[in-house]
């Protein structure tokens, strides 16, 4: 048996827009993802989150299902638009009530809630003011966060500010594949700064009005980046890609500065006039934990082709097996990342806030889903986690992405990440083989060796 530490937390993760549905109910306002889904060609088959997994109505049975799978903690996000459908008006009680009901239900079932404030579904009204490129949004965010700290702080102890700010700013404002869909790298730089500033302000507010025994952190998507070969050029490309994706967010939040080499490189795009004196101090707030979303690695060489060509970086495939997303599978990347946190960023406790895989699941004649490929993916990443813990990494828990199949952003419903299968016609939930396996892992607090 590969045994995990006694207090290790076993969870699953979801997000509001991907599962809730009920987008027009109980006063919810429009989010940027509602709007983005309507733009032609942006989301596969023009799909959207209007119904999704109908979790808004089915949350009680979903929580019971989690209970039946031994899940100890549930990472979900709040739809900002349910709480502040109009940013200048008072909060919407009915929206808050939904999350109160959800949290009560979790607690009755002895599942500890982990609440993320921003999992991408910004109110459209704020987007109309410029979204994350407008500094004022950092105040709106702090107001929204403070309201929830006060209203839910007695029952929710684990809080996350943003989920993957890099995706919000880069994919939303530069590559354009996520809402709101802009394509200007300068906007990414500005938006990323405001996201981090909003994070810092919210953490500060948490210390002032949040629960005393509460914990708060941020979730970053880290792609460990390796040079394609041992030439200086490839190593330099790896440094740039790591700076762009990882250090640009890790350094301000955990060290209080932007990486020097990236500031130098980005001079060609901006004069950073949006960074005000004292901002970095505001961003750099002591956090209780760091959330890591880990799926895959990046391998790079110098070059001008492809998505990162404008930075002189060319991402290459290495021939490793891939998931249904086309993401290369490399559990060692998770191990390396966990140890890197310890080495470069101190001994901050880490939760793996997302890890999992999409596969082209088949429903068998008997109704079961034998997702052995997903199970192996999870097992191998858990083993890498355990090895990292043994080698000194401070990992406190693991949240499998995802509890159930859901709306996978621009891919619509075509990519299934769930350990529970969802039939979108009937909303029937069927745990897959991985779910039963994970249940046993939780019961054993470890992995049985063959």
Q: Which x/- pattern, by CB under 6 A, does the window 7-36 give for ligand FCB?
A: --------x--x------------------
Among 84-92, 334-342, 344-352, 401-409, the segment contacting ligand FCB (CB under 6 A): 401-409
Site for ligand FCB in 153-212 (CB under 6 A): 163-164, 167
Give residues with Cβ within 8 angstroms of 32, minimum separation 6: 120, 121, 122, 123, 124, 127, 131, 172, 179, 180
Interface with ligand FCB includes 323 (CB under 6 A)? no
* Residue 358: C-alpha distances to residues 221, 271, 355 (Å): 17, 40, 11
Give the 3-state secondary structure of residue 181.
Answer: coil
Tracing tokens 């890197």 back to the chain, one arrives at 340
For residue 345, how far is the Cα from the chain centroid?
Answer: 20
The answer to whether 54 and 116 are in contact (CB under 8 A) is: no
Q: Which residues pair with 298 in a beta bridge?
A: 225
User: At its nearest, how many Å lie between ligand FCB and the CB of residue 218?
Assistant: 13
User: At its nearest, how many Å lie between ligand FCB and the CB of residue 11?
Assistant: 14
* Residue 401: C-alpha distances to residues 24, 331, 404 (Å): 26, 15, 8
Interface with ligand FCB includes 314 (CB under 6 A)? no
Quick one: 91 or 291, whose CB is closer to ligand FCB?
291
User: At its nearest, how many Å lie between ligand FCB and the CB of residue 445?
Assistant: 26
User: At its nearest, how many Å lie between ligand FCB and the CB of residue 386?
Assistant: 23
Provide the annotated active-site residues. Answer: 164, 354
User: At its nearest, how many Å lie between ligand FCB and the CB of residue 417?
Assistant: 5
Quick one: 226 or 417, whose CB is closer to ligand FCB?
417
Quick one: 174 or 302, whose CB is closer to ligand FCB?
174
Maximum Cα–Cα distance across the chain: 63
Nearest alpha carbon to residue 111 among 77, 78, 71? 71
Using a 10 angstrom Cβ sphere, with 0-12 exposed, 13-18 middle and 19 or more buried, the burial of residue 248 is buried
Q: Which residues pair with 446 in a beta bridge?
A: 3
Q: Which x/- pattern, by CB under 6 A, does the window 218-257 give for ligand FCB?
A: ---x------------------------------------
Q: Which x/- pattern, by CB under 6 A, does the window 254-293 give for ligand FCB?
A: ---------------------------------------x
Interface with ligand FCB includes 409 (CB under 6 A)? yes
Site for ligand FCB in 326-355 (CB under 6 A): 354
User: At its nearest, how many Å lie between ligand FCB and the CB of residue 7?
Assistant: 25
Tracing tokens 């102890």 back to the chain, one arrives at 157
CA distance 300 to 183: 23
Quick one: 33 or 56, whose CB is closer to ligand FCB?
33
The answer to whether 270 and 197 are in contact (CB under 8 A) is: no
User: At its nearest, how many Å lie between ligand FCB and the CB of residue 229?
Assistant: 28
Using the 8-state DSSP alphabet, how is residue 157 labeled? -
Interface with ligand FCB includes 417 (CB under 6 A)? yes
What's the start-to-end Cα distance of the chain, in Å? 9
Token pair, residue 391, equals 């080698």
User: At its nearest, how many Å lie between ligand FCB and the CB of residue 75?
Assistant: 10
Number of residues that bind ligand FCB (CB under 6 A): 12
Cβ atoms < 10 Å from Cβ of 50? 14
Cβ atoms < 10 Å from Cβ of 184? 14
Residue 215 belongs to what H/E stretch? strand 215-221
Quick one: 131 or 291, whose CB is closer to ligand FCB?
291
Residues in the site for ligand FCB, rule: CB under 6 A? 15, 18, 163-164, 167, 221, 293, 354, 401, 408-409, 417
């Amino acid at each position: 048996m590969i045994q995990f530490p006694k207090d290790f937390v076993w969870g699953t993760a979801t997000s509001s827009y991907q599962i809730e549905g009920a987008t027009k109910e109980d006063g919810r306002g429009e989010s940027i993802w509602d709007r983005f889904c309507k733009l032609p060609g942006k989301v596969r088959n023009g799909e959207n989150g209007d119904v999704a997994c109908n979790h808004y109505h089915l949350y009680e049975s979903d929580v019971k299902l989690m209970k039946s799978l031994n899940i100890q903690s549930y990472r979900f996000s709040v739809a900002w638009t349910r709480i502040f459908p109009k940013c200048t008006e008072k909060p919407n009680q009915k929206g808050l009530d939904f999350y109160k009901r959800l949290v009560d239900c979790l607690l009755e079932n002895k599942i500890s809630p982990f609440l993320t404030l921003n999992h991408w579904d910004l109110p459209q009204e704020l987007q109309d003011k410029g979204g994350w490129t407008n500094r004022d949004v950092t105040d709106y965010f702090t107001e929204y966060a403070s309201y929830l700290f006060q209203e839910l702080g007695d029952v929710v102890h684990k809080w996350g500010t943003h989920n993957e700010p890099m995706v919000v700013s880069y994919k939303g404002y530069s590559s354009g594949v996520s809402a709101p869909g802009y394509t200007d790298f300068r906007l990414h730089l500005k938006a990323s700064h405001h996201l981090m500033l909003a994070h810092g302000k919210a953490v500060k507010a948490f210390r002032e009005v949040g629960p005393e025994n509460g914990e708060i952190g941020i979730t970053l998507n880290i792609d460990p980046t390796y040079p394609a070969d041992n030439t200086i050029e490839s190593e330099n490309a790896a440094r740039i890609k790591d700076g762009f994706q990882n250090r640009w967010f890790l350094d301000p939040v955990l060290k209080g500065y932007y990486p020097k080499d990236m500031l130098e490189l980005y001079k060609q795009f901006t004069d950073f006039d949006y960074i005000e004196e004292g901002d970095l101090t505001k961003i750099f707030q002591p956090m209780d934990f760091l959330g890591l979303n880990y799926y895959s690695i990046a391998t790079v060489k110098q070059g001008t082709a492809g998505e990162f060509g404008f930075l002189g970086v060319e991402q290459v495939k290495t021939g490793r097996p891939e998931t249904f997303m086309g993401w290369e599978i490399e559990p060692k990347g998770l191990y390396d990342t966990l140890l890197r946190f310890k080495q470069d960023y101190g001994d901050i406790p880490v939760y793996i806030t997302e890890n999992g895989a999409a596969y082209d699941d088949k429903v068998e004649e008997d109704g079961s889903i034998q997702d052995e490929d997903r199970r192996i993916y999870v097992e191998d990443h858990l083993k890498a986690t355990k090895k990292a813990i043994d080698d000194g990494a401070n990992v406190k828990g693991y949240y499998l992405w995802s509890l159930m199949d859901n709306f996978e952003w621009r891919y619509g419903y075509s990519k299934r990440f769930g350990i529970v299968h969802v039939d979108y016609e009937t909303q029937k939930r069927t745990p897959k083989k991985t779910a039963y396996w994970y249940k046993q892992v939780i019961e054993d607090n470890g992995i049985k060796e063959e």
